[in-house]
Amino acid sequence: MQNNVFQSFKSNISGISLPEKFTFPFYYEPHALSIIAANELQAYLETQTDFEHNFGLNQNQEGLVIGKMFGVLVCQNQVGKLGYLWAFSGKLAGENNHSYFVPTIFDMLQKDGFFRKEEEVLNAINRQIEILEHSDELKNKCIQLETTKNNANSDIQNQKQKIKRLKIERDEKRISFTHLSSTEIEQLELELSEESKKESILLKKMTKYWNFQLENAQKEVNLHLDKINQLKEERRLKSGALQQKLFAEYSFLNQFGERKSIGKIFNNNPPAGAGECAAPKLLHYAFKHNLKPIAMAEFWWGQSPKSEIRKHKQFYPACKSKCEPILLSHMLKGIEMEANPFHENPAEGKDIEILFEDTELAVINKPAEFLSVPGKIISDSVYQRVKEIYPNATGPLIVHRLDMSTSGLMLIAKNEETYVKLQRQFIKRTIKKRYVALLDGVLEENEGFIDLPLRVDLDDRPRQLVCFEHGKSAQTKWIKIETKNNQTLVYFYPITGRTHQLRVHASHELGLNLPIVGDDLYGKKENRLHLHAEQITFFHPISSEEITIQKNAPF
């Protein structure tokens, strides 16, 4: 074990009790020991001179800005001494290994390692391919082939035009045969027929000649292309073998000393960067050196990427697509963890409130942390509750949804016809909705319009990304209500209805750059998400009367 990796706490931790269970890495409140370990890492990052990396915190610093996720693992050594480990996700300052940080699971950048050697072989093949693809010889052979094609086409087309022209001339001659004797006509018909045959035979010979020339020209090109294709196939096989070798080398330990490769964990199809995150690096090092994991936390350091929302010094859970299969299926095997909140029913002990109803529809008030429709694990939801309240209702019932964490008004259709008519109003955007939100910070402007397209983060569902290339249009109007205690109350008027639209538009630097209070995905967790669907206006599907229902926010 490297001497400077397992570190002692610099702060006094004598009065802090150890957690009873290990941190559930995908949704957690950082333990006091994790917070202290993170603070000591952040103090190091603020003053260190061991490496130069542009986190985007210093405007005068040159180089590409890359914020980083860092992790801390509080653990005990074999004699019960408490300390912590540090890790970073991916590379730091272009390197895998730095003093005070746990090493990578497998260092592909190692100078004498097999990856560098095989990479050089692949690079040599790439250079050969590039030389052959851009060689003058191949270029000249391709030009020769193209020239032969053009000449062949021109020659054959000219002969076909000649045959057509001669046929017209023969037909004109036949018109003049009327004054000739039958013997003379017979003789002339024979001559014309022979002339036609000669031209057709010439066309066949010409076609055969040019086909031969084209075949030879194509063979010359194929000789070069075959060399290139052979090299590409060799590259493909070598690259595949290298990938499999990498998968085998990227193997993770658990507390029982069992190893499992990234290839087996992801069925030989791991997402890019899997195994390079802080969490698996920390746990692997701990198990390798007989350190007992006590608590863990990860935080973001530096400027946020343009597409996603990351706040400097803020704690975040481990990513799901890359880390969840590694940690939950293998590395944390046998370790007693805090409860998985995704397996708990958030709606337990809560009731929906019916604010308006008639024979066709209802408007209900959904509490925060309450599913609109059944999830993969939890079935309790607005849909299930409404089904129980209106057992004779037909149709889909749920006309539109609210995020689980958002409270407020939802339209319920009691029959298929009403559902279709209300849905049509949503499609035509004639339904007006007003949300109220409490933002974490002071908003200077009084009103505005946000237009930031969104798509799901495929590596970390259900988080959303701002994506101008593949995102769907997402537009929001907003008006400031008041500012108080360094927080701002606003009205949101969503024009579109994308997942997490208001949450992202509030928190993203190109939006309001102020997260909604209690937003555990794009801001800081609190007692609840302070976002409420306060008012809805729609036309009754039968009477066409305009109806407005309002329920003030409980915060």
Give the torsion sign (CA, 415, 416, 420, 421): negative
**Gyration radius from the chain CA atoms:** 36
Q: What are phi and psi of 420, to 5 degrees?
A: -60, -45
- Burial letters 381-408, b for 16+ CB under 10 A, else e: bbbbbbeeeeeebeeebbbbbbbbbbbb
Give the dihedral of Cα atoms 172, 177, 183, 186; nearest 10 deg.
20
Which residue out of 112, 358, 403, 519 is catalytically annotated?
403
Output the CA angle 419-424-430, nearest 5 degrees: 120
Query: Distance between CA atoms of 461 and 477, rounded to whole angstroms?
Result: 26
What's the sign of the alpha-carbon dihedral 317, 323, 327, 328? positive
Q: Is residue 50 flagged as an active site residue? A: no
DSSP output for 154-207 = HHHHHHHHHHHHHHHHHHHHHHGGGGS-HHHHHHHHHHHHHHHHHHHHHHHHHH
Instruction: State the maximum Cα–Cα separation within the chain, in Å, rounded to a whole number.
Output: 132
Q: Residue holding tokens 């020209």? A: 217
Amino acid sitting at position 217: A
Please report which helix (H) or strand (E) contains residue 281, including its range. Answer: helix 278-288
From CA 247, how far away is CA 85, in angstroms rounded? 25
Which residues are designated catalytic?
A: 403
